[in-house]
Amino acid sequence: MRIAIASVFTPPVKGGAEFLADGLVAALQRAGHCVHRVLFPFSYATLADAGRSMDIWESQDFSPFGGGGIDRVIGLKWPAYLLRHPVTVAWLLHQHRPVYDLFDTPFGFSAATPGAVELRDRILAADRSSFARMQAVFTISRRVSARLHTSTGVASNPLYHPPDSAEAFWCAPASPYILVPSRLEGLKRQDLFLKALALTDPSVQAVIVGDGGQKAELERLTSDLGVGARVRFLGAVSRAHLISLYAHATAVFFGPRDEDYGYVTLEAMLAGKPVVTCTDSGGPLEFVLDDETGRIVTPDPEAIADALSDLMSDPARAEAMGRAGQAHYRRSVPSWDDVVSQLVQASPANETMGFARGTLPLKTQPVEAPSKPVSCG
């Protein structure tokens, strides 16, 4: 089958969306499909930028392509899934959140900005129209499905997937630090972690991995809180280095605001480490079982500090939670082969491969290292 993967990218960022697309392309090629990746750069800085991106994708009609044509399009991100093709499936990472759940918040467009309400209405109408003509609508998590249904009335099927290089994770005896890996942005709430760390015993150490717009502010906060000697900011690190940091951590903190999915949670589970997350963190709540594979606490420094202190003071308990997390991952996350099977075979009559919308198949297989991709000829 000839399959086009439609998405957008924002240079020079390479994050979860790009890793997902890479994994999907490799899995489709292993299954014998010819895969074409269709990407346009995307800027979300202004309303005009968003509108121009919509114009580009809405004008794309993949139906008449020659040379054998495209058999199926899989759309991943807004506004790429707005293109037209008679056989289109969405695997939605998230909607354009600045005009949906983040609208009129510090993280989205302001309703007072001229043209913002009009753009929001245009996007909502285009999304509803696009999803209505698709063969199937999948999302990457129950949280994304819930947001989609609340905002548009569109039903969808959550379809989990492994993180990048899932087979490479390993577990080592714990060193006395908490790992905090994520982009340094407001929605990731590393500031909340630092405020909690200041309330823990001075022996508790932290390693913060990642770059982003909040780096300078977080470094200032670290100094103001008097925890500078207890925190290491490593910036961006290699994948191998990150996996090693997971392996040696005692616990992982990941407390974002309403995350779509959250690779950090899955990576920690693969490394056999408990995760501390928050009651409003979204996607991580689909995997973290409180007091079993980690801790779920209210998003305030005192509650987070208590959870961190409990794990750091009882390494045996943290280790047991980590082992439980590994087992829970194996039960909960399908292999890439299962993901491909659902996306390729989905149709209006069989769009969820035998699973009701709103449920998640738990069949899993070991994640295999990618083999050499097939040629499209």
Domains and CATH numbers, the chain: 2-162+334-345 (3.40.50), 166-332 (3.40.50.2000)
- 92-117: b or e for each residue (b if 16 or more CB lie within 10 Å)? bbbbbbbbbbbbbeeebbeeeeeebb
User: What pLDDT shows up at residue 68?
Assistant: 61
Instruction: State pTM to two decimals.
Output: 0.86
At 71-95, the pLDDT tens digits run 999 999 999 999 999 999 999 998 8
Q: Which residues have CB under 8 Å from 339's CB, separation 6+?
A: 24, 27, 159, 161
Give every CB contact of residue 259 below 8 A, 6+ residues apart in sequence: 143, 187, 281, 282, 283, 284
Asked if 93 and 76 touch (Cβ cutoff 8 Å), the reply is yes
Tokens of 40: 């346009």
Retrieve residue 178's tokens.
């908490």
254-301 tens-digit pLDDT: 999 999 999 999 999 999 999 999 999 999 999 999 999 999 999 999
Residue with tokens 């998230």: 94
Who's near 82: CB < 8 A, 6+ residues apart?
Answer: 54, 57, 58, 60, 75, 126, 130
* pLDDT < 70 stretches in the chain: 13, 65-68, 348-377
